[in-house]
Structure 1
């Protein structure tokens, strides 16, 4: 299965899971007197929209190169990631505002059964995080990685809610706002994760040189091609789910132009065969002269 198809199916998984959880949390929070659960539902609702955005972005990024976009449409990926970060910031702001409002408003202690709901949610969201993060690594998708951390943020807010509700139930009267404080604390974690998602996506958009492991692989594979005497410059940039390579190789300066051309094509074909994540490889041939 192509990486694009894997990424798109993973997005559908996120959308369906977040929609069901948003409904479950909202109902449990309303009937169980827990704002922390309602705050969780708000974040899951924003997750539905952000996952939908990721899906649309992945579909657009998978479009083939054309005359107007000779390098493909992959640059939409970090832009979608920025939008997902925006959703995280909005959800954190809404949760914080509502939590502060509730802290100053007397209300009932959350129901004990809400802890069971939260326990199931925590397990599901952590499993979702692991699944989506693994798929993001398989597909090299920054927007899927952002979606994965959205799942982890959701799990963290659920853990905070679990702790807050447990504290409110155990301590009893006077501690009804414990789960509101838990929701407020969770917003700090959400904002921290938003920064963790934003920073690498910005680097991707700015073509930062952060692919040392892939660069080493490209050099080693190139050196395995007959008549390649060495490598010089090697620039890597990520475009969507794939990478663009600019590589300088050194060959014997006494070889014919045709032979140098053939070597360059052999290096390119070898790299693309062994590293399927490469979209395009541009080879520049440098001559080596004895003496």
Structure 2
């Protein structure tokens, strides 16, 4: 959350700075870039709020917690990026078709400073997103990168306009048009994982396989017949079907399930909820290693 709040404050100052510089320096590319940065501010607010909600504990109305708020926030920010890309493209085409003054030289200095700051923000926030496994924070990081790309494109356009002089005023508008395509692509790329998480796509195979190995190593477990897992914000919720000896008592089966649950959650703390269903082992199925040990009595 600190990373998102830091991005929010810095984005606000950068957006206002670019907007003022764009208006005073007659740079439509810089004004468009400032507009996109204001979208960043709004996006950071959404991410921060989404993480706050996702961190809430379960309640009677939300027994599985509030983790879905995190991918919802990520999807919203991604859609915001797509909208910003389309909006900047439309504005750029309009400016290309309309004669206007060239940009002032100081706007280039402003953009170079913005690029350095935004790239630093991307690296910092992206590290946090990878460390905590947050789609929303990761999306917010790429929002910073897309803003840096927009600013870089605007800087190139302004530089060409300044060097070329009369007749090259539209160079910054062409650069902004190019940047809008990058922003649009980034938004669509980030939208997919957020939507997949909302649709409860299975996590990476390695996580599922490790949970199965831990369970099947427990005494009394014939094998894991089925394991369903889904991401809930920063954590995972799983449903596991265990096969045990059909001659076991209910108490013995319950003891095995309890041991498996503790072992899996200890080995994989990101699994915060594990529901286990006990089934009788079917004839002809190969037993796991755990069944070789004696079941608890």
With the length of structure 2 as denominator, give the TM-score of the two structures. 0.87
Q: Which runs of 5+ in 2 are unaligned?
A: 285-297
2:28 is equivalent to residue 35 of structure 1: yes
Cα distance in 2 for partners of 1:246, 1:154 equals: 41
Q: Which runs of 4+ in 1 moved over 6 A?
A: none
Candidates 117, 122, 126, aligned match of 1:124 = 117
Equivalent position of 1:50 in the other structure: 43
Deviation at residue 107 of structure 1 after TM alignment: 2.7
Q: 1:169 to 1:142 in 2, by over 3 A?
A: same
Cα distance in 2 for partners of 1:125, 1:245 equals: 38
2:153 is equivalent to residue 160 of structure 1: yes
Equivalent position of 1:202 in the other structure: 195
Superposed, 1:136-215 pairs within 5 Å as 136-215=129-208
Contact preservation (8 Å) 1:235, 1:247: yes
Equivalent position of 1:4 in the other structure: none
Equivalent position of 1:94 in the other structure: 87
RMSD, matched Cα: 2.0
Deviation at residue 254 of structure 1 after TM alignment: 4.1
SS in 1 for 2:65: coil
Cα distance in 1 for partners of 2:258, 2:237 equals: 16
Equivalent position of 1:5 in the other structure: none
SS in 1 for 2:243: strand
SS in 2 for 1:234: strand
How many residues align structurally? 284
Contact preservation (8 Å) 2:79, 2:191: no
Contact preservation (8 Å) 1:110, 1:168: yes
Q: Which runs of 5+ in 1 are unaligned?
A: 1-7
Equivalent position of 2:266 in the other structure: 273
Contact preservation (8 Å) 1:66, 1:72: yes
SS in 1 for 2:7: helix
Deviation at residue 51 of structure 1 after TM alignment: 1.0
Structure label with greater radius of gyration: 2
Equivalent position of 1:216 in the other structure: 209
CA distances 1:106-127 after superposition (whole Å, capped 9, x unpaired) = 3333233433322222222122
